A and B are shown apart, each in its own frame.
Chain A
Amino acid sequence: MECEQVRHELEAYRQGELPPDVQTDVKAHLDSCSACAEEAVAMARTGDLLRQGLHDWVEAGEVPPELARQIEIQIRHAVRRRPWWQNWQVGVVAAAAVIFLVLVATQPDVAGHVATVPLLGSFAAQFVAPGLEYHVDAATPDRMAGNAKTYKLTATGTGGGVTLTVHRVDIDSDQTQIQYSLEGVPLDTAVVPTSYLPTLATAAGPVAFHGFKATKHGDVLEFTASFAAVKPDEPLTLSIAQFPQAVAETVTWAVPAAVSGRVEAAPDAYGAGLIAWVPQGSKVLATLQWPEGKLLHLTDFTAVDAEGKTHAVTETGAVVSKNGKVVQQLLIDLPGGRGPVTLTAHKSIQAAPGSVTVSFTPAGK
């Protein structure tokens, strides 16, 4: 054995951690090489000093009173209240683990959507600029500042025993917000609202979906859905599709192309989320961002579609910290998937309560 090689093994040798033959080789070398033998003694002495010194230092420690108090509060809190993530995610250990779901719909257009997914109220509520009549009972456009417009209306349509009623449409330069309700949806499970997903379309195709909130009033589900901005006088079609498999109630987060969604608990709503319409067989790049110091890492990702099929999620590149933000990127491969895909981060490392911003961009075929 060469001297340099032996010197790398000295600590393992001293504690008998080497395979027997290597242990013998190192011993033979030390017996014949005085320089290495001296080095071994010096390293052993240094190791002893370190061991003793570090133990002394640890024994002399005192936890800051504020931290001790904080820990006590957290434990007592943990006793009193089961955190929301424990209700549906088994095996998550981190105290404030951030677990989120993202819906990514894999159908590129409404027509394909109609053909492949059972629709409720397909094209049932069609509302267009004032003057045209479909199922709109009343439309009261109030001209607001700039190009912003609000339509109060009652537009109804039915499908599959479910009645869809649109109550109000707000259009401004940032977003399009639609208030609507569903009546006749079987309300036997709490997860129902998240399996009824809205699509807003113009003549040019679907409008990017930012998210929606649902609340239950008796047997009526009331929704407020947000989409990307549209031109104020553009004809719009709202469709509600029922996806075959509902997703978890508390956290349904979905993010459309190039739009960021904030991931946080929505305790008074059934869920909120954003959906990206991406062509089948394509890839989606997910960019996760969170403030430095809050959360070190999200890991153990899965992407499962409505049929229970798992799609590959690749963590691309390094996790980078920049300007106080930590950025992580994932590539989700969706080869011919159908319906919503649920992306889940099953574990977080050292999370403080906070939020993760997720944005999605199509990443090609």
Chain B
Amino acid sequence: MTLEESFFALYKPEQNRLYRTAWAILGNEADAGDALQEATIRAFRAFGQLKGGAAAFPAWMRRIVVNTCTQILRKRMRVIPVERPEDLQEEPMAPEIDIPLGSEVWEAVRSLDERYRAVVVLRFLNDMQLEDIATALDIPLGTVKSRLHAALKMLKSRLQTADGERRGAV
């Protein structure tokens, strides 16, 4: 098996998950695609140095994707949009009946402003410690805490209503 084949054998089963992880962090599919490409090439170049074999691959690969995404976020937060009117519109929630819970949660999370969304995703999807989030996004720990608190308050009523309805329906 060539290096390339060994890489793909480990990478392919993770790819879907990695893509959505990048999407969740960055908030849109286009950036997620770019980040995944960049992260995959980075990973491939460093693949020879991976210690711990196949078992270590998923976490290692995921870390590279998350790092690539937070790097992009950090820089993006420094870019001041001068003209981006369309970005500011929130997508209305479609009243679907059979949306799985995951989609509902994601719809709620994606409607958050980027500053809040990033913190929520890094915390609850990537299980990062608050201090690590502060480092990754290059913001003070206090800011992480206040953003997280504000985001949870925003999400609370929305999610618990949906949750309550589902429980009532069962």
Chain B at the A interface: SS class: helix
Given contacts A49-B159, A321-B81, contact A61 B149 (CB under 8 A): no
- Asked whether A231 is an interface residue with its Cβ less than 8 Å from the other chain, the reply is no
Q: Which of A11, A57, A74 contacts B148 (CB 8 A)?
A: A11
User: Chain A residues with Cβ under 8 A from B79's Cβ?
Assistant: 296-297, 318-321, 326
Q: Are B125 and A349 in contact (CB-based, < 8 A)?
A: no
Please, how many angstroms separate the alpha-carbon atoms of A74 and B127 in the complex? 30
Place the interface of chain B in its size category.
35 or more
Contacts of B24 in A (CB 8 A): 54, 57-58
Asked whether, in the complex, the Cβ of A71 is within 8 Å of the Cβ of B36, the reply is yes
Chain A nearest CB: distance from B137 CB in Å? 14
Assembled-state Cα–Cα distance A76/B40 (Å): 12
Report the separation of the CA atoms of residues A228 and B68 in the bound assembly, to the nearest whole angstrom. 42
B35 within 8 A of A: yes
- Measured in the bound complex, the distance between the Cα atoms of B127 and A8 in whole Å is 18
A8 and B37 form a contact (CB under 8 A): no
- Supposing A64-B33, A297-B78 touch, asked if A323 and B152 sit within 8 A by C-beta, the answer is no
Q: Is the pair A74, B40 in contact by a Cβ cutoff of 8 Å?
A: yes
Asked whether A58 and B37 contact (CB < 8 A) given A50-B109, A319-B78, A322-B82, the answer is no
Which of A8, A53, A352 is close to B106, meaning CB atoms less than 8 Å apart? A53
Is there an interface contact between B130 and A296, defined as CB atoms closer than 8 Å?
no
**Contact string against A for B residues 1-12, beta-carbon threshold 8 Å, 1 for contact and 0 otherwise:** 011100110000
Taking CB atoms, residues of chain B closer than 8 Å to A76 are 4
CB pair A57 B76 closer than 8 Å: no
A319 to B74, CA, bound (A): 12
Quick check: which of B51-59, B90-98, B116-124 contacts chain A, the rest being far away? B116-124
Known: A17-B130, A322-B83. A349 touches B105 (CB 8 A): no
A78 to B37, alpha carbons, bound, how many Å?
12
A46: interface (CB < 8 Å)? yes
Q: Are A46 and B105 in contact (CB under 8 A)?
A: no
B155→A74 contact, CB < 8 A: no
List A contacts of B80 (CB < 8 A): 318-321
A11 to B72 Cα, complex, angstroms: 26
Q: Cβ of A95: which chain B residues have Cβ within 8 Å of it? A: 37-38, 41-42
Q: Is A188 an interface residue (CB 8 A)?
A: no
Q: Are A78 and B20 neighbours in the complex by a CB distance under 8 Å?
A: no
Q: Is the CB of B106 within 8 A of A47?
A: no
Q: Return the contact of A318 from the options B78, B102, B124, B125 (Cβ within 8 A).
A: B78
Instruction: Name the interface residues of B41-90: CB closer than 8 Å to any CB of A.
Output: 41-42, 44-45, 68, 71-72, 75-76, 78-84
Q: Which residues of B contact A332 (CB under 8 A)?
A: none
Q: Specify which of B16, B82, B106 is in contact with A63 (CB 8 Å cutoff).
A: B16
In the bound assembly, the distance between CA atoms of A43 and B120 in angstroms comes to 13
Q: How far is the CA of A180 from the CA of B162 in the complex (A)?
A: 76
Say whether B115 faces chain A, with CB atoms less than 8 Å apart: no
Interface size on A, residues (CB 8 A): 56
Question: Is residue A1 within 8 Å, beta carbon to beta carbon, of the partner chain?
Answer: no
Main secondary structure of the interface of A (DSSP, over half): helix
Q: For the complex, is A56 an interface residue (Cβ under 8 Å from B)?
A: yes
Q: Are A78 and B36 in contact (CB under 8 A)?
A: no
Could you say which residues of chain B place their CB within 8 Å of the CB of A60? Answer: 20, 100, 102-103
Q: Give the residues from 50 to 81 in chain A that come closer than 8 angstroms, CB to CB, to chain B.
A: 50-64, 67-68, 70-72, 74-76, 78-79
Q: Is the CB of B37 within 8 A of A49?
A: no
B4 and A75 contact, CB distance less than 8 A? yes
B109 contacts A350, C-beta separation under 8 Å: no
Bound state CA distance, A107 and B139, in angstroms? 42
Specify which chain B residues have a CB less than 8 angstroms from the CB of A293 in the assembled complex. Answer: 30
User: Bound complex: CA of A55 vs CA of B3, how far in Å?
Assistant: 31
Partner of A42, one of B81, B105, B160: B160
Whether B34 is near chain A, meaning CB under 8 Å from some CB there, is yes
- The verdict on A365 contacting chain B, using a C-beta distance below 8 Å, is no
Contact of A190 with B by CB under 8 A:
no
- Is B37 a contact of A67 with CB atoms below 8 Å? yes
CB–CB A67/B159 < 8 A: no
Known: A54-B125, A78-B44, A350-B35. A72 touches B109 (CB 8 A): no
Give me the interface of B with A, judged by CB distance under 8 Å: 2-4, 7-8, 15-21, 23-24, 29-30, 33-38, 40-42, 44-45, 68, 71-72, 75-76, 78-84, 100-106, 109, 120-121, 123-125, 127, 129-131, 142, 145-146, 148-149, 152, 155-156, 159-160, 163
**Assuming A51-B125, A58-B20, A323-B82, what are 17 further A-B pairs, CB within 8 angstroms?**
A8-B146, A8-B149, A49-B160, A51-B127, A53-B159, A54-B106, A57-B24, A61-B17, A61-B23, A71-B15, A75-B41, A93-B42, A95-B41, A95-B42, A320-B82, A321-B84, A322-B83
Nearest 3 Cβ contacts at the A-B interface:
A53-B105, A56-B102, A61-B20
Q: List 8 A–B pairs whose Cβ atoms lie within 8 Å, in order of A's numbering.
A: A7-B149, A62-B16, A68-B15, A79-B4, A299-B75, A321-B84, A350-B35, A350-B71
